[in-house]
Structure formats: structure tokens, C-alpha cells
Structure 1
């Protein structure tokens, strides 16, 4: 049976339990930063339920949402170091650690979360980015939908409107895009955006529509510019030692709940939540500015193209095959669409 934990864990993770036939062999602690009331938490619960049912209860999953077990920027390392057994987290919260994977975050590649999730999972399956994850056991990778700009006081119509504005950014990739637009990017994980907007620490945020609802940001930002500036890549991953120590039949069950099929489910959940987040803003009477052509809009494209080239060139200078990954990502952007 799945459990929702709100207090720090005190039991050893993945403990082999003694006792009757009803006892789970593996009790896995799943840490993430979304609220327990969010749609993404529900999507993760669906995955856990399927895993538990197909293992006949030999695997149980206990959830720690809202950063109750590990803070968002430390979630990946929490799994690596067995503080948590599973996590769903933003790869860019670990700056410069997954640079090839984050190529998918560049402008114009992701049109929907379902398409983006297919794209990033395919890059992993094809071995183009898998070396970045050798210290944990990935379950699946996914993305959110197009990331937009949402501001509290000033509407954004042209790139010049961003000059000097403090905008929350999720990753260093998005920071480079915002810097190219003369904004002042402020790094923070998603749960910190609401109080920062509320207190005036930032002027706006970069988020998909899903995040505007999940983190209540529509309460603070009433101007929305739909541009498809970026996306963010995520992973659900398991502690490597836990997976390696499982008997073969349980490994097969975990494998059956990994990869492209579940990436697609996560993407579909994000797409549905994007629709709900946008409708919430519409119902509140907010200003929604939809840029014609999105990231291809002539007023925005030169700056975004320059930022893309800067990112790819920087990785190539470090000896990483960024252009190869980007070229394949562009192909997958079409075939996954």
C-alpha cells in the first residue's frame, strides 16, 4: 500500500522486511518537490500503484512531496547517496551536470510535453545522453510543455520589455536565454517562486502553464506571454544499489514500468495540466499575450538563436558532442510530434 509521508523518514530505505506474506520486500521512499495536491504527484502515484500491483505488493512506495525528505536542488544526490530511494526532479537543478540532456531545453524544440518527453527519452534510449546518468538507475525521462513568461506588473510584448526585470529561471540554460534578452535571471526551485513573487523579490517567472497552477502562481502574476521560450527536462530515477540488489523478477517488473511508455504518460499529464493552468488564468481575467510564431517570432528569434549557439558552442569547446545531440533532438522533435 502506498503511503504519503510528511515527516522525516526514520526507517532504512529499501529494507528487507521480515514477517508474514503481506509484508513488502522493498519499501521505497520517493522524494519530490511538487505539492501532494498537484496533478504531477497524482501521476507519480499512478506509476507507484502499477509497480505495487504488478509486484503483488513486494514493492511499496512511500511518498515525500513538497521537499519533505530532500530539497529540490539536492534530490538527485539524495538518491545517489541513498537518502531517498526514488526522486522526480529537474535535471537543471544540478547545474552543469547534465549538459547534453539539457540540449532539449533550447528554444523551439518542444511543442508539447508528450512530444518533448518522447524526444528526451529517445535520446537516452539511443545512448546519446545515457553516460550522464551512470550513478543512478533512471526509470524514465520527461519534459514539461513550452515554458512561457509570466509577470506581476509589466506585460511583455517585445524583447525590450524584459530589460532589467528580475525573472525566476529554473536552469542555467534558461538563465542564458534570459540574459540574452537583457533580463536579470534569478535562480530558484519552483516552490520558492510564489513567496518571491509575493514579496517583490522577483518581477516575474518563467514557467509552463502547469506550474502556474501547481504552485499557485496565477495568484501573483496576471500578465502572461506565450512564447515557448524553453522547456525543462526531468527524471524519475532510483538508487543504483537498490536496483542492482533486487532479484531478477523484481528488476523485470521495474524495467516494465520504465522507459518510453511511462515517459509518454508523464508528458500527457503535463499537457493536461498546462490546459488547466491556462484556463485558470483565463477565468481570472488575466492578460494573455500569444506571440505569433512563438520562439520563431522575428522580434525574438535572433536573440534566442544567439543564445542557442552560445550554449552549443560552449559544450563543444569542452569536448562534448552538443551539435550531434542537438541535430538528433531536432529530428526527434519532428518524429515525436
Structure 2
């Protein structure tokens, strides 16, 4: 009888031990994710256009979604208008951890990113929405090598832009000769030089000032941004043709990314996708496209189309740009014919090829 009592006590003790172990295990499982994610970060999202620009809301939407998906451990603040650094420095700001996510124009640093420069070539895309999806899908294959100093997030276009002039109508390539023009990026700068014009370098926020002071006579710019940056006050003539687009990217700081937990990294990865490239591009694409009608409706401006013959002349004049791009890609060890075919196929797939 005494032995039975002892055995029963042992059985109860074992059951109690199992219950304690199970509870401890459950507690460990419940607490571990919290421990892994309990460090809160306030991500600095930096760009260099005004807070009234559609990109501001795109970054706010991106940050809000990241914050929600991370359970509030990844908060954010947007820094517009070059608050954390000059437009030209935003890639290096992400590299160095000065900002956590930055908006970059690769064309602001000629020769540094030769492959993505394909997106700057004239007469490549017809619209920014499909263009951004096709462009982003294509570039992901090359981003890790070409932008190895940062964590590439996504790439996109603005809607095609054109020439906007203060002093005279630009109708054919020969009209550029002798003009002082602010180019949108390195490829357009090369185009201006090739046509006999001279380049005036400045970031987008500085364009109105250089036109107003006569430092430049014309600019290549997307349509909606002309009034946004006050450029409509200092220009009069506008070619109504999808001449070129500018490539942009969001890049994330590798310093910050390395500090995140596995689940936080997944949140960032889930927001650096082709779907997000479209989400970022869409409001801006709509905004820029609406700028054409806005300038057409203003009697102070002359918006004029090109004839088929004039357009053919522009396309012919642009051919050396693709040859120069191909030479730069070869120097970087790439196969320009294969790379360009991949890009055009991707744009065609997304209904955006010129």
C-alpha cells in the first residue's frame, strides 16, 4: 500500500514536470519572436523633390505599409527636398547609412551605372506604368552587381518627357545647336553635346533658377513637373512627343538592413518587389501625363507635335547614343546586344515598348 502511494506520487511529480516543461517551451516560443523584433527602428526615407511631388506620397505609402507589416517595429519618416543631402549624393547616402531608403537618379552620376543607363535612351518607352514594371523586372538580374554597395529595392520610370524651351521652338535636332540646355541625365547630356548644344548641370530643384537667370535656355523634363518646379513660368515652347524617360531607383542601406531581425528583413524584401515598382510609379505617371493637357490649356505656352519626318530625324540623330551605351556596357563586361534585347522584350511584355 505504501509502495502504491509512492508510485502515485512519482507519477504526479512526472506529470507536473512535463506540464512545467511544456509551459516553459510555449513561453519560449511566444517570447522568442518578440525578442527578435523588439528593437524598433525609425527608417529615414530620403528624396530630393518637393513634398508636393507625387513621390512624397509614394514613399509615405511605402513606409506606412512597412510599419504595419512589421507590427510597428519599423517606423519611418520622409525627408524631402534634399534635407539629408544633395540629389547627386543619395546613392552614397544609402551606402553610408546616412539615410535608410533613398530615391536615386542613376544618370546623375555618368558612367557609374552603365547597364541601367539603357533606360535613358530616347524613344524606348511609351508609358511609365508598364515601362516601370518591365524595366524593374529586367534590371533585377543586374542590380546586385551594378549597385553592389547598397540593397537594391526597386526601379521605375517617370512618364516620358520632352524639350521645354525659353527662347525658341526646338523642332528638329539641328535647332539644339548653340543652345544652353539642362539635360535630365547623362544620356541626354550626351545627346545635347552631339547636337552641338552645351550642357548646364543642375538638379531638378535648381532648374527654374538657371532658366530664369539665363544660365540655361531649355531643359529636358517630364510634363507634370514643369509647373510643379515653376518651370512653366520661365519656358514657352514644348515638343509634344515622348522623347525620353529617366530611370530611378529606391535603394536601401546595407548597414541598416544588417541590423534587422529575420522577420524585419522579410518585411523590407516584401516591399522591394516588381509589384511595388508599379505602385510607386503609378501616381507619378498619372501626374506627369496630366501635365501635357495642363500646358496645352495655358495660352502662354505653345505645345506642338512633330511631323513623321521630323520624328524620323530625331530617331536617326539618337542612334549614336545606343552605340555609346553599348560601348560602355562592353567596358563593364556586359553583352549589350543581349541586355538590350532582354530589356525590349520585358517592355513589350508589359505593353510599354516604343
Coarse TM-score class (shorter-chain normalised): 0.7 to 0.9
CA contact (8 A) 2:114 2:332 kept: no
Q: CA deviation at 1:329?
A: 1.1
How many matched pairs? 313
Per the normalisation by structure 2, the TM-score is 0.84
Contact 2:161 2:242 in 1 (8 A): yes
User: Are 1:132 and 2:152 counterparts?
Assistant: no
Report the equivalent of 1:15: none
CA distance in 2, matches of 1:101, 1:72: 18
Pick which of 178-187 and 29-38 moved more: 178-187
What does residue 205 of structure 2 align with?
191
2:93 to 60, 69, 78: 78
Which structure carries more strand by proportion?
Answer: 1
| Alignment match, 2:40 | 25
Alignment match, 1:255: 269
Structure-2 change in CA distance of 1:292 and 1:129 (3 Å)? farther
Structure with greater proportional helix content: 2
Give the structure 1 partner of residue 240 of structure 2.
226
1:141 partner SS: strand
Q: Compared with structure 1, are the counterparts of its residues 118 and 48 closer, same or farther at alpha carbon in structure 2 (3 Å cutoff)? A: same
CA distance in 1, matches of 2:339, 2:124: 12
Matched-pair contact (CA < 8 Å) for 2:170–2:176: yes
Deviation at 1:129, TM superposition (A): 4.0
Structure-2 residue corresponding to 1:239: 253
Q: 2:160 aligns with which of 126, 146, 151?
A: 146
Alignment TM-score, normalising by the size of structure 1 = 0.88
Within a 5 Å distance, the mapping from 1:29-108 to structure 2 comes to 29-108=44-123
For structure 2, the 5+ residue unaligned runs are: 1-37
Q: Are the counterparts in 2 of residues 24 and 57 from structure 1 also a CA contact under 8 Å?
A: no
Structure with higher Rg: it is: 2
Cα distance in 2 for partners of 1:252, 1:122 equals 19
**Structure 1: gaps (5+ residues):** 1-22
The equivalent residue for 2:221 is 207
Aligned Cα root-mean-square deviation (Å): 1.9
Deviation per residue, 1:254-273 (Å, 9 max, x gap): 11111101111122122211
SS at match of 1:230: coil
